[in-house]
Amino acid sequence: MSPVFESQAGQDRFVYGIAVAGEGRTSGTFLDIGCNDPVMRNNTYALEQAGWTGLLIDCEPLWAAAIKEKRRSPFVCGNAENIDWSLVLARHRMPITIDYLSFDVDGAGLTALKTLPWSSVRFRILTVEHDAYRFGDAVRQAMRVLLRQRKYELLCPDVMDAGCAFEDWYVDPLAVDMAVADRFRTDGATDWKSIVGL
C-alpha cells in the first residue's frame, strides 16, 4: 500500500519514486532538517510510513510533543547553524550513508548547510531549499557550488511551487540508480507536479 504523501511540493514523492518504487528500498534513513509539523507538509512522514527511520530536527521546541505522539523517529530541538552534527548523528546512531537529506531552514540556509559534516557523511538523495525568489541568486549559487564540490549532481534545478523557484533536488550519482533518477531530471525551473508526474 502506498503511503500518504504530505510534503508541500512533492519532495516525499521524489524520494519515494527513486528509492522505494524505483530501487525497491523497503527501509531507509533520513535526516529532516527544518522538519516543522510532524505530518502536515512534512517531507519525511510518508517515508516513515513506508518503513524508513531517521532524525527530525527543528529549532522550534513546540513540535516536540506532536512529533513524539505522531512519529517513530526521534526529534532534536536545535538551531541548524550551530548544532554539533557529529555528536548528534553519533548519539542517534545514524549511518555514514543516509538515504535522504531534507533541508529547509529558510534564511539560515547557506550558513546551516556549511555546518553539516560533509567529510564524514554522504546522502543519496537531497532536497535543498534555497528560496531564490526571496533571497536572490547569490545564496542559491553558493549552495550549488558547495554541493557540486562534494560531487552531488543537481538533478532538478529550481523546483517551483506556486510559480516560485524555491528548491534544488540532488542525488549522489555513485549511490543511486541513475537510470531511475534520470526519470525525474529537468533542465530548468519546473513545477514540482510535473517532476513527480501529477
Q: What is the pLDDT of residue 1?
A: 62
- The DSSP call for residue 18 is I
Q: Spell out the residues 6+ positions from residue 125 whose beta carbon is closer than 8 angstroms to its own.
A: 14, 15, 18, 19, 99, 100, 101, 169, 170, 171, 172, 176
Give the residue extent of every domain in the chain.
11-128+150-196
List Cα–Cα distances, 153 to 2, 80, 136, 186, in angstroms.
28, 23, 22, 12
| pLDDT score recorded for residue 106 | 82
- For residue 190, the cross-strand partners are 159
What are φ and ψ of residue 51, in 5° steps?
Answer: 110, 0
Q: DSSP secondary structure string, 101-159?
A: EEE--GGGHHHHHHHS-TTT-EEEEEEEE--HHHH-HHHHHHHHHHHHHTT-EEEEEEE
Would you state the pLDDT for residue 161? Answer: 96
Mean pLDDT of 64-68: 95
Task: State the average pLDDT over residues 41-50.
Answer: 96
137-191 pLDDT, tens digit per residue, is 999 999 999 999 999 999 999 999 999 999 999 999 999 999 999 999 999 999 9
For residue range 68-112, list pLDDT tens digits in order: 999 999 999 999 999 999 999 999 999 999 999 999 998 778 999
Whether the per-residue pLDDT at 2 is higher than 90: the answer is no
Strand-pairing partners, residue 167, are: 129, 159
Q: What would the pLDDT profile of 17-32 be if each residue is shown by its tens digit? A: 999 999 999 899 999 9
**Given pLDDT bands bounded at 50, 70 and 90, which one contains residue 8?**
very high
- The architecture of the domain spanning 11-128+150-196 is 3-Layer(aba) Sandwich (3.40)
In angstroms, how far is CA 94 from the centroid of its own chain?
A: 15
pLDDT for 46 equals: 96
Task: Report the predicted TM-score, pTM, of the whole model to 2 decimal places.
Answer: 0.96
Phi, psi of 73 (to 5 degrees): -75, 145
